[in-house]
Chains A and B, each alone.
Chain A
Amino acid sequence: MSRILLRLWARGVPLIHRNRWIEEWEAELAALELRAASRSGWARWWTSTRFAWGARAHASELAHLHGQDDGGSMAMTTMGRDLRFALRSFGRAPGFTFVAVLTLALGIGATTTMFSVLDGVVLRPLPYDRPDELMMIGSSSRRFPGLAPVAPADFTDWGEQNTTFSHMIATEGWTLDLTDADRPGRISSAAVSGGFFDMLGVALMLGRGVTPQDDVPDSEPVVVMSHGLWERRYGSDPNIVGSTVTTVDRTFTVVGVMPESFVHPEALWSEDVELWLPTSQTGSNMTTRNGRFLQVMGRLAPEVTLFQARQEMTAIASGLAEEYPQNRDRDTLIEPLQAETIGDVRQALALLMGAVGMLLLIACVNVANLFMARASDRGREIAVRVALGAGRARIRAQLLTEGVVLSLGGGLAGVGLAYLGVSAFRAINPVGIPRVESVTVDARILGFAFVVSVLTGIAFALAPALRLGRLGALSGLRDGTRSGGSSGLGRSRNVLVAMEMGLAVVLMVGAGLFVNSFLRLQSVDPGFDSEDAVAMALTLNSGYGDTEQQVTFFRQLMERVEALRGVQSAAYTSALPLAGDRYLTGIVLEGRDPDPSNPDAAEYSTTSPGFFATMGIDVVAGREFTQLDNAASARVMLVNETFVRRYWPGEDPIGKRVSTGRREPVWHDVVGVVEDVNRRGLAEPATPEMYLSPFQSGITNAQVVVRTDGDIAGTVTGMRSAVHDLDAALPIDFRTVDEYVARSVDQPQFYTQLFSAFALVALLLAGVGIYGTMSYTVGQRTRELGVRLALGAQAGEVTRMVARQGLQVAAVGLALGLITAAAGARVLESFLFGISAHDPLTYVAGSLFLAAVAATACWIPARRAGRADPMRALRME
């Protein structure tokens, strides 16, 4: 800023002194900056700007001393004059100013909010050292072409054989049930291999990270905790390092605390991880090649490109594929961490940014329209100024100054709105958008808002400025009291209105598609009855080691829960549909040859007797589980309809046998078939599923589902004390089943709401724009219309004539908008469910709606035109 000021003032210094003058001030400024270096950014900026401001007096003093009254700072004085003039003229037209600033504030505010989100989530680098080098490395196969988890033995081989990564680490999502402090707590954790913290390059706040020495079998258990957990559970104890935290079966020594700003890479584990432990402490088999459960991350070695790393890892994978049968057809996949973290949200945010950009454009068009109307009113004033010798450049500069001043006002208000918008966005944290914590309004965003405001101002002031600047002195004066209103201006205004209609229709159609798709999504029958049902999540700790203990606990719990008042039925399951728990396993079907390249698989869960009745899922064939399907009897399972369709089409599934064992076959008899449910999401098709008996397969991770007579709160209290009576150390969590269903459509709902809000504002602005233009035109044509009426035209005819002209413009805009919408609809396709992006009904409905708004906006001024009193209109002359 200060340098810009100096350049500006320098123009006022007499030429012979100018270079000297600049040199002197450069030196002064450099010295000032050196002295202010210790101060904060704002203070520094303010000091140097204030300092450089004073250089103006110096410049004009020099000009004065050398007898040249400043040619250069003349420009400044003129600008100041333009500024003051602009402010005065806005003061004289408060209504115009208010509407214009409000419109701009909406446009700029919405754009700035969206940009903050886009910037925080997508554009800003991840908060790790040299984040571009961080990569997710996955195992991929023909069946799962995505970034799949990695087997521990593969991870070890990759680590030993690769040369392109400077670090390679493995992690596994985990939970620890802490039993220390005053209450039990379930803590989202991550098991990490030694070197994890080193690789991220984040300094710990206290202590040290998990080292490779911690991560060997039989090492002492250690944990690193998050700043949040340290504060919340341990009261920010400064001596925490070296103390211990306990779970039921182990005592961990705390070795470090992370800084507050640290976030576990969300691509690894979407929960807020609060404890990190070495992978050696999970008890997982860290030498197996059969189980794939590790997530692997690496840091590219210096000077290595992603391409080189991919080549090398593919070579390593094909070596392993030859060596081990389990690795046949397996490859590796490497994706940058940033891309993996953001995932498909990038697309959605880009889409919303586009929508909000259109909104800003509409706001611009609206203000340009207002400006144009005002400018043609001022045609006479401008003509006088031209006649008095003002150059065109001067007039244009004046109009542009007014535009920029106006939009800076709008920008200021817009930034206020953006602050509100951003804090609302963070508070709602809509739908698990990643990295929401880095969404803030900071200097970058303010800079963005400033640039947008200035560009906006220039954009909407340019058209009138160019046009009016071209007006000859005489034409304005000749127009007499009709004050400007040249046909050229009228044409420009029509173009603007058509543009506005076009943009609005694009947004309307987009919103219509979103709403339609969301309604369809909501009306999807999840396959179960979610009303009046509540679910309690509960995990048995390692104190319940065998199936016998687990079954005993749940029997006692269910006895207590079923006895509660208001409970109609109760059951438990290891994986509640739509709750996010999914377990996929390979299976063997009796009498069917396995295909190694396309192994048979199904999702499985354990469900207690009564589960299907409680959830309202019909058993369509065979029977449900009973208490007798226990360890003493033959293993049984139920399957869903999709399972039957996939594996035994046209056959009777009852009595067939399926094995779920990994090493040894474990055969189950199919005793029943149940209806499909939407387990993964309402938009996701059902997949083959198996249900197993808890008395035979055990259960530690459970959701207890209770169907109530409506008194959910009372039931929750009862269930809480029932669990507490049995084992006070078990952490529990309640949610209604309705809530799970609602949460599964959070994301589409959020996009739909946002898009609809944009479309609504667009509709409003477009309506106001058309109305404003029409009323203005009618006002301009008062005399002409008066003459028509005086000569015998019917009021209805005049009304229709005026309305027709407005609607013609609207229709042109509508048509152009529909073409644009149809051409651009492809980008919406991946967000839509059950509806085509070219759904004709939505297009027609959107256009009709907008046409109705346009008709209303045209009709009101047109009616006024028809009712004009011819005498009054003529007397105006």
Chain B
Amino acid sequence: MSRNRPLGAATVAILKAVQEGHRFGLDVMEATDLPSGTVYPTLARMEARDYLESEWEAAADAKAAGRPRRRYYGVTPDGARALSEALERLGVLAGVTRQAAGPG
């Protein structure tokens, strides 16, 4: 996988969701409305690219809530930069398509 390959729409949505504070996999799924088969591999891929980092919930907290330990994701500075670039590019693309589809 090329490091320079631009981020796809789903990946952008997922990164954005994490940045907005949906740090748990299932929350990301709900926020982006993407299936589990898309969300989790993307999280893994982004983590491998160092756009995301993850940490495990403290065992004590999980125990207090009576559930298995959760894995929380966060956006790295690299990831944040890539995300904003991607958003900008997507915005431009949206403009392009709007123009293409506009009156004329």
Contacts and interface: CB of A to CB of B under 8 A. Distances in A.
A451 interface: no
A17 to B, nearest CB: 9
Interface residues of A, number: 24
A35 B71 CA distance: 18
B81 interface: no
Interface stretch (A49-57, A158-166, A728-736): A49-57
Given A62-B44, A65-B45, A53 B36 contact: yes
A27 interface: yes
A181 B44 CA distance: 73
B36 A55 contact: yes
A28 B26 contact: yes
A308 B40 CA distance: 61
A238 B67 CA distance: 46
A30 B40 contact: no
A40 B45 CA distance: 35
A28 B25 contact: yes
Interface in B43-90: 43-45, 48, 57, 62, 67-71
Given A28-B25, A61-B44, A62-B44, A54 B39 contact: yes
B68 A57 contact: no
A689 to B, nearest CB: 72
Contacts of A58: 36-37, 40-41, 43-44
Contacts, number: 64
Contact of B37 (A26, A34, A57): A57
B68 A54 contact: no
A91 to B, nearest CB: 28
Contacts of A546: none
A27 B38 contact: no
B70 A27 contact: yes
A27 B67 contact: yes
Interface string A359-371: 0000000000000
Given A27-B70, A31-B24, A32-B26, A51 B36 contact: yes
Nearest to B37: A54
Contacts of A65: 44-45, 48
B35 A54 contact: yes
A99 B52 CA distance: 57
B36 A26 contact: no
Interface in A14-72: 20, 23-24, 26-28, 30-32, 34-35, 50-58, 60-62, 65
Nearest to B47: A65
Nearest to A17: B44
B60 to A, nearest CB: 15
Nearest to A52: B36
A29 to B, nearest CB: 8
Contacts of B26: 28, 31-32, 35
A871 B68 CA distance: 76
A177 B44 CA distance: 76
A27 B71 contact: yes
A115 B70 CA distance: 44
A31 B39 CA distance: 16
A50 B36 contact: yes
Nearest to B34: A54
B49 to A, nearest CB: 9
Nearest to B54: A24
Contacts of A54: 35-40
B40 A55 contact: yes
A27 B69 contact: yes
Contacts of A20: 71
Max count, chain B CB within 10 A of own CB: residue among A28, A34, A61: A28
A26 B38 CA distance: 18
B40 A26 contact: no
Contacts of A51: 36
Contacts of A32: 26
Max count, chain A CB within 10 A of own CB: residue among B25, B35, B40, B68: B40
Nearest to A20: B71
A555 B95 CA distance: 103
Given A32-B26, A61-B45, A53 B37 contact: yes
Given A34-B67, A58-B37, 8 more contacts: A23-B71, A24-B71, A27-B69, A27-B70, A28-B24, A28-B25, A30-B67, A31-B70
Interface of B: 24-26, 35-41, 43-45, 48, 57, 62, 67-71
Interface of A: 20, 23-24, 26-28, 30-32, 34-35, 50-58, 60-62, 65
